[in-house]
Structure 1
Amino acid sequence: MAQVLEFKLPDLGEGLTEAEIVRWLVQVGDVVAIDQPVVEVETAKAMVEVPCPYGGVVTARFGEEGAELPVGAPLLTVAVGASAADTPGPGEVPARDGRQDPPASVNGNSRPAAADAPGGAAEGSGNVLVGYGTGTAPARRRRVRPAAPATPASSAPPARPSPVPPAPAPTVAAVPGQDASRGEGPVPVISPLVRRLARENGLDLRELHGSGPDGLILRADVEYALRAAAAQGRTAQAQAVVAAAPAVAEPQPAVPASAVAPGGTRVPLKGVRGAVADKLSRSRREIPDATCWVDADATELMRARAAMNASGGPKISLLALLARICTAALARFPELNSTVDTAAREVVRLDHVHLGFAAQTERGLVVPVVRDAHTRDAEGLTAEMARLTEAARTGTLTPAQLTGGTFTLNNYGVFGVDGSTPIINHPEAAMLGVGRIVPKPWVHEGELAVRQVVQLSLTFDHRVCDGGTAGGFLRYVADCVEQPAVLLRSL
């Protein structure tokens, strides 16, 4: 007899707590092998294909494409030891004994009954998952939505303005904690962010009746309840003023911000874009950065690269030469290869260089990391950067390949710009920016000539060093660009 095993979203490392389903690689009824990739998910770090540790027939999938699931949430169930003919098809539901399983809980989120979608797919979106039984495919089960408790007219929230007939608005129970229909179990919400928003604002989710499917509480429900509570507080305060001085008019509830600017497009900050936003915001808050820059004559560097590539063997990239210059400069100025331990109030100088470099992809900007870049020559750096760039473009970078950098090289010259003042990649201490290399008038050996000129900029954490150290680092990099023979001292 076949045994049905549940495969949950595994811990993807690097402290990641959730992932978004991008694409299912299998269907209900498909036969899968052990360690076969079954779903493609996007975390805050990268796009990852998740392999299933079981071999058998897929009996159910949980979560639609685009839904976010927490680590530990069920992804699918597999009938081990069964053939495809022994398991229910996408439109079939196995017989049950009439009993209903109580709602299970995953990371604080409840799972309502099985969806009506083929194969028992998750109903709705977000972190609300489909309930399932043991040893069978999910059984169809309806959930009775409790009626909203009556709310006194004096405390009712203002109506939600909408140009179309609105969905049932969430209501707040008149007496906190008296909504017995919720019970003591977890409340279904669309994502952990909604739960955190309610917790940070002191809002009891059991007092709400969500406007989503089966009473699912959406973020809009929580925001509306918070605005309603604020409006009620202002109204109560105004009524007290009116009682003391009847001549004072009662203030009108504020118009929700979402109704002020109609027609706009809201783009969720999630996945890689959300992680980048969080990291850059933290960097700007915590790091007192400063930037210095210099123009350098890159004519000789371009000639040296052309000579290397003309001699045969693998081609050397310009970015790899600049990376080699960076590692040599960091050996002379180790202050810039460091991080700040704010809790201990210490600057930690690192004894290895893990060099990050910016790579633009269809999913946004990512920063792959070349491990132990200080031990690689120009040829080795070229090969590793090419490998990581290809992985970034195909979305196959692992979280480990996107974290742990100690210094970042940013070649924004590929966008046709000359300079920039970038935000440091937290928790690093510095970033070198390289602009485009263009012919410009330049005084060379006492005469005006047309030379290949590049602008170099260094943004650094002013806590780890002063301007003299930063200027010395940048001047050394410029000297190596102008006279590549300077690097011979460190080869």
Structure 2
Amino acid sequence: MSEQVFLLPDLGEGLTEAEIVQWRVAVGDLVTVDQSVVEVETAKAVVDVPCPYAGRVVALHGAEGEVRPVGQPLITVAAPAADGAAPAAAPSAPDEPVGHAVYREEERAGSGNVLIGYGTGPGSARRRRRPRVHAAAPAGPSASAQPQPAPVSESPASAPALSAVLPDRSPALVISPIVRRLARERGVDLTTLRGSGPGGVVRRADVEAAADAAMVARPTGADAVASLGAGTSPANGAGRLTVVPDLPAPHVGLAPPGASDVVIPLTGIRRAIADKLSRSRREIPEVTIWVDADATALLETRAAINAARADRPVSILALLARICLSGLRRYPQLNSRVDTEGQRIIQSAGVHLGIAAQTERGLVVPVLRDADRLTTAELAAELAATTAAARAGELPPARLTGGSFTLNNYGIFGVDGSTPIINHPEAALLGVGRIVDKPWVVDGQLAVRKVTQLSLTFDHRVCDGGVAGGFLRHVADCVEQPALLINAV
């Protein structure tokens, strides 16, 4: 056949569609086997999709920002036999599958994207990145009145002016599609930014700072008129200026004149979060209970552990995870899910602990499978590595599903309490507030202690208040007296 159509592959369990973030090739480009041709965003990750065919691109199916279903055409490539200019590709192994996506790891300076590879043949080792750089259109009053000229070489006289406007057009390193969308909405040219993230990654804060700086530097009122000079104005003829009076400054807190609503499409991970939380609220009759706990001894225990082995420090989150695992051993009803179709409750054999993590792309819950088999030191190491990978966007979709119980440390946001929504289809979620100094009664005397608020949100279908209260009281007792964990093992 002269043309081969590559369909959007299966990107992971339960994923039925993906949003096109950026095409890495254009019609007419030559591609090789396993070359990355498009970056897409699913409900769980941002991935690079390589093409299993070699040849010349003759059609791209879908524009940037468009959502494509799995199994629908993504790109059409003219086979090398029909296009003599197509580059030769290394042959793949005879048993190498072509129609199934396999996630692979790839080092990519500061990038959190997941690369999809096909098979294990020689062709799967080749990767190419071709960032797209768009030249800026000339600005000026007459830009819209004249047709856009074809690209021309710069003259020596014009080169300094262009370099002053565009000091550096090197492609920006951007991981998050949200950052790209924010830059488009606020009119920020990403190629002019220097990212503050690891490896120079451009973050949302960089875009917002650039937009704010541009707003401050924008001339208004009489300054804007004076900056026009004495050139020709289409409205009043040559050599004359229309005097524009100074406009009153808008009141603080009010939108500027002419501002319109910001429309943000509910796509990708944001839509996945909305769908899952909405389903949780519809199906799960949840109840939240809470208690204050004196965490002074827990902090002292952590300091003692880290002083004894500074090479393998233990975090407060790791100790709280250990306490949760102890409580679930006593109250396994909370380590379960409800099968509504089968009208049954399924208790998990192991504890697959989910850790709520806030990222630039939204809230994700990476899962530590069989966390009950890990030591406290192993828990600390896994938690640190998993949360870092989640914030960098490096976790494959399989690591974001299959949890049986979630631990949510919302205290990092500086809040004391919360009534969170259960991560469907789990049955319970433990929330931990900030640890702050508070007056506390110790042995009949008032003292200043490190106090935190613990909350448990549970599915009332799997247990009643006695089980939920017993679990939360056990967690609070272990926070106040970590030595109880020795007897709980």
TM norm structure 1: 0.61
SS in 1 for 2:322: helix
Cα distance in 2 for partners of 1:335, 1:437 equals 28
Q: In the alignment, what sits opposite 2:458?
A: 460
Compared CA separation, residues 378 and 79, structure 1 to 2 (3 A): farther
- Shift of the alpha carbon at 1:297? 0.8
Residues 339 and 349 in structure 1, CA contact (< 8 A), matched pair in contact too: yes
Q: In the alignment, what sits opposite 2:487?
A: 489
Q: In the alignment, what sits opposite 2:16?
A: 17
Cα distance in 1 for partners of 2:82, 2:385 equals 40
Q: Which amino acid aligns with 2:354?
A: G
- CA deviations on 1:245-270 (whole Å, 9 max, x unpaired) are xxxxxxxxxxxxxxxxx954333222
1:63-212 correspondence runs (5 A): 63-81=62-80, 86=85
SS in 1 for 2:265: coil
Cα distance in 2 for partners of 1:309, 1:444 equals 26
- Shift of the alpha carbon at 1:426? 0.9
Q: Does 1:284 align with 2:281?
A: yes
Q: Which amino acid aligns with 1:78?
A: V
Cα distance in 2 for partners of 1:27, 1:490 equals 61
SS in 1 for 2:402: coil
1:68-467 correspondence runs (5 A): 68-81=67-80, 86=85, 263-310=260-307, 311-467=309-465
Identity %: 66
Cα distance in 2 for partners of 1:443, 1:16 equals 52
Q: Which amino acid aligns with 1:386?
A: A
TM norm structure 2: 0.61
Q: Which amino acid aligns with 2:292?
A: D
Could you list the runs of 5+ residues in structure 1 that have no partner in the other structure? 89-261
Cα distance in 2 for partners of 1:417, 1:347 equals 34
- Shift of the alpha carbon at 1:13? 2.6
Cα distance in 2 for partners of 1:56, 1:305 equals 59
Q: Which amino acid aligns with 1:7?
A: F
Q: Which amino acid aligns with 2:21?
A: V
Compared CA separation, residues 489 and 72, structure 1 to 2 (3 A): same
- CA deviations on 1:56-79 (whole Å, 9 max, x unpaired) are 554443222111111112222334
- Shift of the alpha carbon at 1:370? 1.1
Q: In the alignment, what sits opposite 1:7?
A: 6
- Shift of the alpha carbon at 1:326? 0.8
- Shift of the alpha carbon at 1:323? 1.1
Compared CA separation, residues 37 and 393, structure 1 to 2 (3 A): farther
Residues 439 and 447 in structure 2, CA contact (< 8 A), matched pair in contact too: yes
- Shift of the alpha carbon at 1:342? 1.5
Q: Does 1:48 align with 2:30?
A: no
Cα distance in 2 for partners of 1:297, 1:33 equals 61
Residues 61 and 76 in structure 1, CA contact (< 8 A), matched pair in contact too: yes
Q: Which moved more, 1:34-43 or 1:313-322?
A: 34-43
Residues 17 and 70 in structure 1, CA contact (< 8 A), matched pair in contact too: yes
- CA deviations on 1:75-127 (whole Å, 9 max, x unpaired) are 22334547998159xxxxxxxxxxxxxxxxxxxxxxxxxxxxxxxxxxxxxxx
Compared CA separation, residues 33 and 448, structure 1 to 2 (3 A): farther
Compared CA separation, residues 46 and 479, structure 1 to 2 (3 A): same
Cα distance in 2 for partners of 1:319, 1:370 equals 13
- Shift of the alpha carbon at 1:359? 0.8
Cα distance in 1 for partners of 2:279, 2:390 equals 24
Residues 354 and 405 in structure 2, CA contact (< 8 A), matched pair in contact too: yes
Compared CA separation, residues 364 and 392, structure 1 to 2 (3 A): same
- Shift of the alpha carbon at 1:405? 0.8
Aligned length: 317
Residues 2 and 82 in structure 2, CA contact (< 8 A), matched pair in contact too: no
SS in 2 for 1:484: coil
- CA deviations on 1:129-175 (whole Å, 9 max, x unpaired) are xxxxxxxxxxxxxxxxxxxxxxxxxxxxxxxxxxxxxxxxxxxxxxx
Residues 57 and 80 in structure 1, CA contact (< 8 A), matched pair in contact too: yes
Q: Which amino acid aligns with 2:10?
A: D
SS in 2 for 1:282: helix
Cα distance in 2 for partners of 1:28, 1:388 equals 39
Q: In the alignment, what sits opposite 1:97?
A: none
Residues 305 and 314 in structure 2, CA contact (< 8 A), matched pair in contact too: yes
Cα distance in 1 for partners of 2:80, 2:384 equals 43
Cα distance in 2 for partners of 1:301, 1:437 equals 11
Q: Which amino acid aligns with 1:287?
A: I
SS in 2 for 1:353: coil
Q: In the alignment, what sits opposite 2:197?
A: none
Cα distance in 1 for partners of 2:322, 2:35 equals 39
Could you list the runs of 5+ residues in structure 2 that have no partner in the other structure? 88-258
Residues 48 and 396 in structure 1, CA contact (< 8 A), matched pair in contact too: no
Q: In the alignment, what sits opposite 1:39?
A: 38
Compared CA separation, residues 85 and 445, structure 1 to 2 (3 A): farther
Cα distance in 1 for partners of 2:355, 2:397 equals 15
Q: In the alignment, what sits opposite 1:232?
A: none
Q: Which moved more, 1:392-401 or 1:329-338?
A: 392-401
Residues 34 and 50 in structure 2, CA contact (< 8 A), matched pair in contact too: yes
- Shift of the alpha carbon at 1:55? 4.1
Q: In the alignment, what sits opposite 2:60?
A: 61
Cα distance in 2 for partners of 1:312, 1:396 equals 28
Residues 31 and 84 in structure 1, CA contact (< 8 A), matched pair in contact too: no
SS in 2 for 1:266: coil
- CA deviations on 1:156-197 (whole Å, 9 max, x unpaired) are xxxxxxxxxxxxxxxxxxxxxxxxxxxxxxxxxxxxxxxxxx
- Shift of the alpha carbon at 1:305? 1.3
- CA deviations on 1:282-324 (whole Å, 9 max, x unpaired) are 1111111111101111111111112222222222222121111
Cα distance in 2 for partners of 1:314, 1:84 equals 58
Cα distance in 2 for partners of 1:392, 1:34 equals 30
Cα distance in 2 for partners of 1:312, 1:73 equals 53
Cα distance in 2 for partners of 1:60, 1:467 equals 60
Cα distance in 2 for partners of 1:56, 1:281 equals 45
Cα distance in 2 for partners of 1:32, 1:450 equals 67
- CA deviations on 1:330-378 (whole Å, 9 max, x unpaired) are 0110000011112232211111111111111111111111111111122
Residues 28 and 59 in structure 1, CA contact (< 8 A), matched pair in contact too: yes
Cα distance in 1 for partners of 2:313, 2:62 equals 46
Q: Which amino acid aligns with 1:434?
A: V
Q: Which moved more, 1:265-274 or 1:319-328?
A: 265-274
